Structure 1
C-alpha cells in the first residue's frame, strides 16, 4: 500500500470516526433530553400524587364533617321532639297550680254545690296532669325526701321533730321534670335539726 492509499484510508477512518463521534454526541444529547423529560415526568407525577393525597385528605375531612353534622342534626331533632313543647307545658303547669289553689280554697266547704264543683275541678286537674304526663312531664316527689338542690329550691329551713336533717317537710309549689330535665324545681321547706 502506498502512502496515498494509507493517507486516504486514514482520512476515511478519521471521517468515519468523526461521524461516529458526532452520532455519539447526538445520541448522548438525545439521552440527556430523554433523561430530563423523565425527571420532569417524575416531578409531575410526584406533584399529582401530592395533589391527589390533598384531595383525598379533604374528602375524608368533609366526609367526617358531614357525619358530625348529621349526628348534630339528629341530636337537635331529638331534643326538639323531647323539649319542643317545654314552653307550652310551663304555661299549663301554671294552670294546674291555679286549679290546685282553687281546690285548696274550697276543700273544706260543706255546701253540696261547692263539693260538686270541687269534684269537677279535681277531675279537670287530674285530666290535665294525665295529659301532661303523656307528654313527658313528671311530678318531682318532694315531701319526705332528702333535699336535693338539683330538684328542690329551699325557701326556708325550720326545726321539725321526728324528721331527719335536710328532709323536705313542706312543699309550697310542685316541681316538674320534662323528659329527664328539670322544668321547674319544687319550692320547699327543709328540716333543720
Structure 2
C-alpha cells in the first residue's frame, strides 16, 4: 500500500500544481489585458494632450498675428485725429495767405513770406507723418476722393473733370482723411 499511496500522492500534487499554474496563467493573462488597456488609455490620453497642445499653439500664433496687425494699424492710423485737427490749421494758414497775397505794403509782403515758410514747414511735418494731399484740379471726378459741391459747364474741359477746388483733401497712409471739395464740369 505504501507504494500505491506514494504513487497517488505525486499525481495529486501534480494536479494541484497544474490547477495553481492555470490560475496563475489566468491571473497573469488578466494582468496583461489590464496592462494593455492601460497602455491604450495612456496612448489615448497622450493623443488628447497632443491635440490640445497643437490647438493652444495655433491659438497663440493667431493671437500673436492679430496683435501685430492691430499694433501696425495703431501705428499707421493712431495719429489720425490729431492730423485731422492740424489740417484745419493748414487751411487757416492758406486763407491768411490768400487774404494778404496781393497787398502792396512791404511789411505785409514780409509777413506773407513768413507765413508761407511756416505753412510749408508745417505741411512737411504732416507729410512725414503719413499725410498726403489728394490731387484734384484737372483730374477726373472720383467720389472716393472728391466731394462735388457743384456742377457747371466749361468749354474745352471733359465731362466730370474737376475745375475748382474749394478745400483740399488729404489721405493718411492711403485712407481718405478728408475728401476734396470741388466743382465738376457738366456739359
- State whether TM-score is above 0.5: yes
Q: Per the alignment, do residues 114 and 32 of structure 1 end up closer, same or farther by CA in structure 2, a change over 3 Å counting?
A: same
SS at match of 1:170: strand
Correspondence for 1:116: 110
Alignment counterpart, residue 42 of structure 1, candidates 16, 36, 48: 36
| Residues 1:156 and 2:170 aligned together | no
Distance 1:144 1:55 in 2: 66
Q: Does 1:60 align with 2:54?
A: yes
**Which residues in structure 2 correspond to 1:108-187 (within 5 Å)?**
108-187=102-181
Stretches of 4+ aligned residues off by more than 6 angstroms: none
Larger mean CA deviation between 88-97 and 101-110 belongs to: 101-110
When the two chains are superposed, the root-mean-square deviation of aligned CA atoms in Å is 1.8
Match of 2:68 in 1: 74
Q: Using structure 2 for the length normalisation, give the TM-score.
A: 0.90
Query: Does residue 42 of structure 2 align to residue 25 of structure 1?
Result: no
State which drifts further: 169-178 or 16-25: 16-25
TM-score, length basis structure 1: 0.88
Aligned equivalent of 1:103: 97
Larger radius of gyration: 1
Distance 1:17 1:184 in 2: 109
Once residues 156 and 21 of structure 1 are traced to their aligned partners in structure 2, the CA distance between those partners, rounded to angstroms, is: 116
Question: Structure 1's 155 and 12: CA in aligned 2 closer, same or farther, altered over 3 A?
Answer: farther
For residues 189 and 156 of structure 1, the distance between their equivalents in structure 2, rounded to whole angstroms, comes to 5
Count the aligned residue pairs.
187
Instruction: Tell me by how many angstroms 1:132 deviates.
Output: 0.8
CA 1:150–1:13: 2 relative to 1, 3 Å: farther
Runs (5+) with no aligned partner, structure 1: none
Task: Tell me how far apart the structure 2 counterparts of residues 147 and 21 of structure 1 sit (CA, whole Å).
Answer: 108
CA distance in 2, matches of 1:87, 1:175: 15
3-state secondary structure, aligned to 2:66 = helix
